[in-house]
Amino acid sequence: MTGDGQVPASRTPAAPAAAAATASTSTIIEARGIVKSFGQTPALRGANVLAAAGEILAIMGPSGSGKSTLLHCLAGILTPDEGVVWFNANRLDTLREAERSAVRRDRFGFVFQFGQLVPELTAEENVALPLLLNGTRRAAALQEARTWFGRLALDGLEHRRSGELSGGQAQRVALARGLVAGPEVLFADEPTGSLDSVAGEYVMNLLTAASREQGTTVILVTHEARVAAYADREVIVRDGKVSTLTGAAL
């Protein structure tokens, strides 16, 4: 890498490869040639994937295939050992940790399998968290957070703590928290994994409706076909590489 944060020209493709290939849509996130190992354990072995702005993309595959690692690389939580990640045609993988953290805070939203609400905070305080972290004043953040309770069928639960919510309710609070700051990309890692099928379908209906309404791109990791069915497009991770449903390599 050169001192100004750019990679040498020989390693820098002129533009994210798919941007030219899909004239009608713009690529918001693209990863090429991602290699990532944890010690001696290879998780990704040259993974390629892209998401078009506004689409809901499901990343499927068996347990241990590398889905979460890929999601974490796309979201700038992990940096790959090799390969390139672009967000809006800017390199994400070469940013310093503080800059990647700012991108995550200001431009991305997250929903994880077990919601991961802060137990000491009320539901509305949990939803308001991303706004408070962005510097929004507390009263305004809570006011905005409350608007999500009606949208996600959580009316009346504003003052409950996570221990007083059902799994489905807690996951809808986590979803509201993921969307409240109007992220450009929502990353969801097994967002229904801890729920029964009825609660899971409810969360997926709300997630997809709210994302489409906001124009949010969704990148969703799941091992369940019925969850992936909500997506516009699916890719499969096997042994650390990505292919399409037909098995064609990306």
* Interacting residues with ligand ADP (CB under 6 A): 38, 41, 43, 61, 63-69
Locate the DSSP E strands across the chain. Answer: 27-38, 41-52, 56-60, 82-87, 90-91, 108-111, 185-189, 217-221, 233-238, 241-244
Residue 10, SS3?
Answer: helix
Least distance in angstroms from the C-beta of 62 to ligand ADP = 7
Which has the closest alpha carbon to 103: 120, 114, 113, 88? 88
C-alpha 171/C-alpha 61 separation (Å) is 22
Identify the CA nearest to 174 among candidates 224, 78, 109, 226. Answer: 109
Rounded to 10 deg, the angle between the 123-133 and 138-151 helix axes is 130
Least separation, in Å, of the C-beta of 137 and ligand ADP? Answer: 37
Q: Determine phi and psi for 156, rounding to 5 degrees.
A: 90, -10
Q: Give the nearer residue to ligand ADP in terms of CB position, either 67 or 177.
A: 67
Shortest Å distance, C-beta 212 to ligand ADP: 25
84 vs 221, beta carbon nearer ligand ADP? 221
Nearer to ligand ADP, 38 or 98 (CB): 38
**Cβ closer to ligand ADP: 151 or 223?**
223
Residue 70 or 185: the one with the smaller Cβ distance to ligand ADP is 70
Q: How far is the CB of 139 from ligand ADP (least distance, A)?
A: 39
Are the CB atoms for 243 and 69 separated by under 8 Å? Answer: no
Q: How far is the CB of 61 from ligand ADP (least distance, A)?
A: 6
